[in-house]
Amino acid sequence: MKTKVLILAMFFLGCTAVSFAQNTKTPVARERQENQVKRIKHGRKSGELTKAETARLAGQQARIQDNKQDAKADGVVTRRERAQIHNQQGRANRNIAKQKHDRQDRN
């Protein structure tokens, strides 16, 4: 009986170690980026964003996506990488809000 418990404990510890070692999921960043892309599309459709503003904001989103892919490339997204992505998304969020409310007309 003790050997079964020991084997189960080792199995669960092994599974936990694997899940920590391969922590490449970024669900919060993914959802946040999806929301930002929707806001950009809505801003363009409603006329709040010009073509140039839309292109700049879309480029910023592409750079964030590239950075996420780079962070995931080694199989682990570290706290530092997550913080960098979070900070980039915060800047992008402020840029979207600023551009949507700057009273420029649509081109």
**Domains in the chain, number:** 1
Residues 6+ apart with CB under 8 A from 91: 60
Judge whether 74 lies within some domain.
yes
Judge whether 30 lies within some domain.
no
What integer pLDDT is reported at residue 17 of this predicted model? Answer: 47
What integer pLDDT is reported at residue 31 of this predicted model? Answer: 95
Residue-by-residue pLDDT tens, the chain, 107 positions: 656 555 655 666 665 444 455 677 889 999 999 999 999 999 999 999 999 999 999 999 999 999 999 999 999 999 999 999 999 999 999 999 999 999 876 65
Judge whether 45 lies within some domain.
no
Q: By 3-state DSSP, what share of the chain in percent is helix, strand and coil, each rounded to 5?
A: 80, 0, 20
What is the value of pTM for the model shown? 0.74
Judge whether 103 lies within some domain.
yes
Hey, what are 38's tokens?
């929707």
Element (H, E) at 43: helix 27-46
Structural domain boundaries enclosing 61: 51-107
Judge whether 101 lies within some domain.
yes
